Structure 1
């Protein structure tokens, strides 16, 4: 199996998991068996595929600071290291869903 085949399989498993229930990148990491950083990379591709298909939508509940509640991060398909408002590192992960 080539690397692109394994990527497609991983992305399909991520897509299937997001159709079942909303999940964070950490939850997808455990479910699919990949590092969290890879889950974010795959999520970008899944989002493009789903959004270009027309019938389904890729939804994101953005990350949120546990200290001040800030949630207007520039890139919701990412895990920010700290809050730009209060500088806290206590960030709740984004939640992803396909419906």
Structure 2
């Protein structure tokens, strides 16, 4: 039986932290769709696991206080820079 996209994403981030771009390549789905899948994965993990997010970070001013860490912001709300590092995701036991 073939696993679902969400199962493949969860398996990937149980192994090592990954960004949406990296997950998109690994599981063969659009990067924008990965964020929707990650929201569901975050809600469906086992009770003994933790869904961790290294938030998006502005490369120019260092801002990382984005309202929604499972997001791909286009600009920094502090300095308006478009140089934003993608968030990274991990499931930890």
Count of matched residue pairs: 91
1:60 aligns with 2:74: no
CA deviation profile, 1:20-50 (whole Å, cap 9, x unmatched) = 1000000000000001000001000000001
- Please, which runs of 5 or more residues in structure 2 have no aligned partner? none
CA deviation profile, 1:44-73 (whole Å, cap 9, x unmatched) = 0000001xx211010000000000000000
1:75 aligns with 2:68: yes
TM-score scaled to structure 2, two decimals? 0.95
| Pairing 1:1-99 to 2, within 5 Å after superposition | 9-50=4-45, 53-99=46-92
The structure carrying a bigger strand percent of its residues is 2
Q: Structure 1 residue runs of 4+, over 3 Å off?
A: none
TM-score scaled to structure 1, two decimals? 0.89
- Please, which runs of 5 or more residues in structure 1 have no aligned partner? 1-5
Greater Cα shift, 21-30 or 8-17: 8-17
| 1:78, distance to aligned residue in structure 2 (A) | 0.3
